[in-house]
Structure 1
């Protein structure tokens, strides 16, 4: 009879000590498996196991025994030590997610590398085209310079020829002028002698 009363008091104490929670997600710690019990202490019988990383719902906790009441994916309600629950998904769940994230990031990096390589190739192509245009302009400029030098030489030669012709014309005018002056001088010297001789002849005839 005393044993029955003692068990009743224990159950009452445990029920008072239990803290009720709104249903929250929890995850079984990263071990191979963990045992679950029918009540909130090691004194209760084992009723099964849960796999590591399995998602469960937290129903309530018992602060005295550090146990938590949970509901698993099958709807079964059991108790498990609080230390074997985690607020974070297990590594078994997170590793595939991390691997997927790594794959996505790797793909993005590959796309970035490809896009960067394409842009670099386009820029190099543009630079090469600019270099070609610059070289063409340089060649055209040099060609124009050469043509300018040739034109300047032709102008210089034409100026020399013009100067020679001008000097020739001037010399010719000097020669013509000198000839005219010489003829005039000669006539001036001869005419006085020719005129008196005619007067003397006229006098002798008279």
Structure 2
């Protein structure tokens, strides 16, 4: 199975593409959506042109109190319905109030401000993507280490399995040898018992033979004595005058 190409994306290039898409979306905002009607209580922004005048009254004939920078955020305090709005502008700890023509105001930040914000967002996104890329690299390294460790464990398991098999074989042989030894001991004991019985029988036979020889010898001796007694030859008598 082929690996997904998701991990092969170039994160910086992706971030640049997102930034370009964001810039394109900024440039195609409809003019009518930007220059909406001013509403009291809401924040509007000075249009993205040169500096725009803030006047002391609602009309071009009133004196300019200050020049407002492009993109400056102002709070709408009042709208007279004749194209003029009373606005409040804060800069640091100071607050400025004056009248501005509604055509110089829009209800969303100017393109430059949006671009700066978008660039910051894009930079943050790129940082996150770089962090993810680094994390992915770390995870791949850990994955490789884990694979190596797994291979080592598998090899160790294989060796232990072989050792266990040999041990079982040795143990089985040892059991067989012990069983054979016990059988040999039993056979030896049986043979020794049979040998003792045969030795006893031999001793008894030898005793019987000795007694038989003794009785036979005694009988022969007795028979000889009796025979000599009955068949004794008389002694030759001497003549008168012989020496």
* TM-score category, normalised to shorter length: 0.5 to 0.7
Structure 1 position 78, deviation (Å)? 7.4
- The CA distance in 1 between the partners of 2:81 and 2:175, in whole Å, is 116
Spell out the pairing of 1:168-187 with structure 2 (5 A cutoff): 170-171=190-191, 173-175=193-195, 177-187=197-207
Check 1:180–1:195 CA distance in 2 against 1; reply closer, same or farther (3 A cut): farther
* Pair 1:65 & 2:85 matched: no
Structure 1 position 40, deviation (Å)? 2.9
Specify every segment of 5 or more residues in structure 2 that has no aligned partner in the other structure, as ranges.
1-39, 230-243
Aligned to 2:180: 160
Specify every segment of 5 or more residues in structure 1 that has no aligned partner in the other structure, as ranges.
1-20
Structure 1 position 63, deviation (Å)? 1.0
* Pair 1:99 & 2:122 matched: no
Aligned to 1:193: 216
Q: Deviations over 1:27-61 (max 9, x none)?
A: 2234x45875966347x4998x9775355686x64
SS in 2 for 1:40: coil
Larger relative CO (CA 8 A, sep 6+): 1 or 2?
A: 2
1:141 corresponds, among 153, 157, 161, to 161
Contact 2:43 2:107 survives alignment (8 Å)? yes
SS in 2 for 1:89: coil
Q: Judging by fraction of residues, say which structure has more strand.
A: 1
- The CA distance in 2 between the partners of 1:154 and 1:34, in whole Å, is 103
Q: Judging by fraction of residues, say which structure has more helix.
A: 1
Check 1:78–1:101 CA distance in 2 against 1; reply closer, same or farther (3 A cut): same
- The CA distance in 1 between the partners of 2:169 and 2:107, in whole Å, is 88
Structure 1 position 138, deviation (Å)? 3.7
